[in-house]
Amino acid sequence: MVHYHQICTEVTPQCPIADTTYGYRPNLAGNIILLVIFAVCTLAQIYLGLRHRLRAFTVATAVGCGGEAIGYGGRLMMHANPWDANGFKVQICCLVLAPSFLAAGIYLTLKHLVLFFGAEKSRIRPGLYTAIFISCDVVSILVQAGGGGIAASETSSLVKIGDDLIVAGISFQVATMFVCMCLAGDFGYQLYKHQSMRAVTTAEVEEGRELPSSFRYYAICSSVAFVCIFIRCVYRVPEMAGGWGAPLMQQQAEFMVLDGGMIAIAAILMTVAHPGIFFPAIGSRNRKAALKERDAASPTESLRTDEMAEKNQV
């Protein structure tokens, strides 16, 4: 079996585009648009994160958006030369791994949402949202990165092992996200059913019972962003399962919509509905102030919900 990537460095009659891994020249306009979107989101996330002092969320989302921007830079390199090995390595590594960091940003906010609205309404303790799901994200990233390194081997048997590891890593990520969606959905249902909030501040709630429209906007945007990342991960499983150069991997339109488009929507939504603006209680200073105001406003209710939260965490 001839490994064209070992002998081809540019498009020639002997090294046609059809024999590249993707079998096409990445679209110039589409990849420029995606690069600009992710670059702008990266800068916006850094600015908003510094302004609202959200360190962990900012690191996760900035790395995710920045990784996507670099990945589409790699695809632009492949537009100029579809046989560009460096461009291929840059885009495959960044575009496979970057969405995990965006998912991590949402996992980080779940803990604070549960703390804010009432741990007694959650199936698991607030801290477990970050401990479990971010740990799973790290495992997924490591497995995919290891698979990518092995797949770069020139030995056919090792390439197959690398492919399998990448698929396993993405499949594990899909399963993790699905469990998280179920838990978050259940928490939202319990919150809706009880129609009450654990933390009450005059700036964020009306009469301590109605959710403000600004928070609804944030919740909807975050939910849609998470679903978009999930759709992208589901798409990646069969795409990578077919191996390098498989028919699905060579469909540019599907990739641009189900990978680039989905992650672009998620990045935009996580930026325009930034938690520092629409859910300020996520910040440590604002969270303490909110809880303090809640305790002063209704110490009896605060004690009751805190006791329920402790009971739920045992």
Report DSSP letters for 142-187, one per residue. Answer: HHHHHHHHHHTSS-HHHHHHHHHHHHHHHHHHHHHHHHHHHHHHHH
The span from the CA of 48 to the CA of 280, in Å, is 12
pLDDT at res. 77: 96
**Rounded to the nearest 10 degrees, what angle do helices 262-272 and 85-117 cross at?**
40
Please write the tens of the pLDDT for every residue from 133-144: 989 989 998 898
Please write the tens of the pLDDT for every residue from 230-279: 999 999 999 988 877 889 999 999 999 999 999 999 999 999 999 999 88
Residues 6+ apart with CB under 8 A from 93: 71, 145, 148
CA-wise closest residue to 219 among 198, 175, 189, 262: 189
Mean pLDDT of 211-218: 76
Residues 151 and 162: beta-carbon distance below 8 Å? yes
The span from the CA of 83 to the CA of 100, in Å, is 27
Predicted TM-score (pTM) of this structure: 0.83
CATH 1.20.1070.10 corresponds to the domain 12-199+210-284: yes
Highest mean pLDDT among 14-23, 71-80, 86-95: 71-80
Domain boundaries, the chain: 12-199+210-284
Please write the tens of the pLDDT for every residue from 184-198: 989 888 877 776 444
Percent of the chain with pLDDT over 70: 80
Helix, strand or coil, per DSSP, at residue 15: strand
Phi and psi of 16, rounded to 5°? Answer: -70, 160
Mean pLDDT of 24-53: 96
